[in-house]
Structure 1
């Protein structure tokens, strides 16, 4: 399934040859007050992004500021604070971490209303793993052009099943150019909401595969993680994609992958 060997070599992003350790170049980081929200996937929790946030903080690129936990009824519990322009990171936790994407999209909306009201936040970045990415794009389809909410500056989706779990034989080149041949109900929803996606945001789709032959991270097909590339690009959105393979590309290990740490740092704060 998927790409031939030649297509794979041509179309799959090549990994850097340097050390997997995060680079330390603090003077190159752009220090701003724009917070970045980290949103976990299905059944996730504090540990989902917790270690990644700690690793990023150690580089000096950004600093953890808040943990916001939202309950089913929309009640928000906040821990921490920030006042400096130090690229604040905010970990978002859903008390009901096994709810569906429609609820999560509304909770993301309520989180952003909270930040605008309590901290006068006018712009955020979002990093979403798996369902966190799915729910973020649904939020953008519902509220992406609402001028009363903080705008989304940059959005990183890590192995988000945008086309559900359809395993496609479509080539990567064709997928990126034309979108998925087989379209799930979720993907069709994204098409119906496409006019609401803000053209000013920048998007980075991170996908993973276990090996050259296994075009999946063990749970989410590579083609699903990249399914919305063409859709968003055709809306005038600046978008790029990276494909990682090898160590720590299992779905539940992606937020422990130092190469993904580095891509997040480069995309958000360089």
Structure 2
């Protein structure tokens, strides 16, 4: 998505951030954002199956780095799948630093891990992970998130995108689950795309919708 944003002249990749398995954060600062273009930072977790709480701590540390390095008073968070769940958790814990939140195919209300493995066989390698546990329907982590919904800031604008391949799911996450943040805030835009789960962040239609949301005042 970031590459396409650059190709379309919508944004500039200003940084690349890698979080190692031990939590060490490594930065590569590329360039300053061009005038009128969104500054974009690509974040990669080398341990993508870490718990929501652990990923939340990593993102909070990265936000502090962004504030220190780029002198930014606030940031926008864009997350696909579990990344969106983590971004929602960060938005609850640090609302003063979040302006906009975008979730794409994010199982706010959980998912069926067996269905995930059917679509992505490699997911079997993570079935015993903390991340897999946290994403399950009615998990402790998701229940905790839901119980905090009244604390979600009215100052944060939210865009939640869901995939629907014809059965009210993107093959993994139900539309209802992807739209879970509508129970947290009224300041939310919901949009359904005819895309499978892994294609939501590879779609030009999704790109355009996300860009328009991020650019508007």
TM-score, normalised on structure 1? 0.65
Q: Which residue of 1 aligns with 2:134?
A: none
Task: Give the drift of 1:144.
Answer: 2.4
Instruction: Find out whether 1:60 has 2:60 as its counterpart.
Output: no
Q: Which has the larger radius of gyration?
A: 1
In 2, Cα distance between equivalents of 1:123 and 1:82: 17
Matches within 5 A, 1:1-270: 52-79=1-28, 80-82=30-32, 84-85=34-35, 86-145=37-96, 151-165=97-111, 185-211=140-166, 214-233=167-186, 238-245=187-194, 249-270=195-216
CA RMSD after TM alignment:
1.9
Cα distance in 2 for partners of 1:102, 1:205 equals: 21
> Structure 1 residues 83, 219: closer, same or farther in 2, change over 3 A?
closer
- Which has more helix, going by share of residues? 2
Q: Can you list the C-alpha shifts for 1:169-218, whole angstroms capped at 9, x where unaligned?
A: xxxxxxxxxxxxx966444312332344222110011011101xx11111
Runs of 4+ in structure 1 deviating by more than 3 angstroms, as ranges, are: 182-187
Q: Which runs of 5+ in 1 are unaligned?
A: 1-51, 146-150, 167-181
Count of paired positions: 190
Q: State the alpha-carbon separation in 2 of the partners of residues 93 and 113 from structure 1.
A: 17
Measure the CA separation in 1 of the matches of 2:50 and 2:67. Answer: 25
Q: Distance in 1 between matches of 2:48 and 2:184?
A: 28
Pick which of 187-196 and 94-103 moved more. Answer: 187-196
CA–CA distance in structure 2, aligned partners of residues 157 and 135 of structure 1: 10
Ranked by relative contact order (alpha carbons within 8 Å, sequence separation 6 or more), the top structure is: 1
Aligned to 2:127: none
SS at match of 1:160: coil
TM-score in terms of structure 2 length:
0.80
CA distance in 2, matches of 1:83, 1:244: 30
- In structure 2, stretches of 5+ residues that fail to align are 113-136
